[in-house]
Copies of this chain bind each other. A is one copy, B any other.
Amino acid sequence: MLIIEGHKHMADVGFARFSAREVAKRIGYSIGTLYNVFGTYDQLIIAINTRTFVLWTDYIRDALGKSGGKSGDDRIRALVEGYFGFARANRNAWMAIYDHHLPPDVTMPPEHDALRGQLTDVVVEEVRAVLPPACQAEAPRLARSLVATVHGHCMFDLNGSFALMGEKEPMALALARVRESLLAARASC
């Protein structure tokens, strides 16, 4: 409940204008109670961002589901479109994931790591599916790299860098890079 409303507030105002006090006000609790539950501002943000990860993963699984019995290429497209689609439809919440940095002395609770890691797991599985048996061992590493590739394009899309450079189809660009790398991987092992 706290997290859901906190997530809404993040979606409404973005990371820079987010405040724990406002979340408390929105659910009718006092600021003190909220701090008793989460202990720290950072922990609240972590919880909200993990929720964003979960919603994002669901969104991408959905996109994969809708690409039904289609070929591997269509599933790769669904992955990229799912990545971009969620980020664009949830600008503030998505950006908050990367706006928030843990202080060096704080660590992410393992259960949050596990939930967030599922998104990568989905990608690894799809990459594995389009690689020949001989090089499936490389799937995790390649998948991480492709996620980074798509992430870079998505980031530049949302923060206006691409628009500034006159780029009109960042997603197509990202998909092209992913396809190239998958082709190269298939050829080289």
Contacts and interface: CB of A to CB of B under 8 A. Distances in A.
A46 to B, nearest CB: 13
A181 B181 CA distance: 7
Copy tally for this chain in the complex stands at 2
Contact of A177 (B14, B101, B120, B181): B181
A74 interface: no
Main secondary structure of the interface of A (DSSP, over half): helix
Contacts of A162: 144, 148
Contacts of A40: none
Nearest to A165: B144
Contacts of A148: 149, 152-153, 155-156, 161-162, 170, 173-174
Nearest to A188: B180
Nearest to A95: B101
Interface residues of A, number: 37
B153 A149 contact: yes
B153 A145 contact: yes
Most buried by B among A144, A162, A173: A144
B101 A16 contact: yes
Contacts of A159: 98, 101
Interface in A95-150: 95, 98-99, 101, 113, 117, 120, 140-141, 144-145, 147-150
A141 B167 contact: yes
A113 B164 contact: yes
B152 A101 contact: no
A83 to B, nearest CB: 11
Interface string A63-100: 00000000000000000000000000000000100110
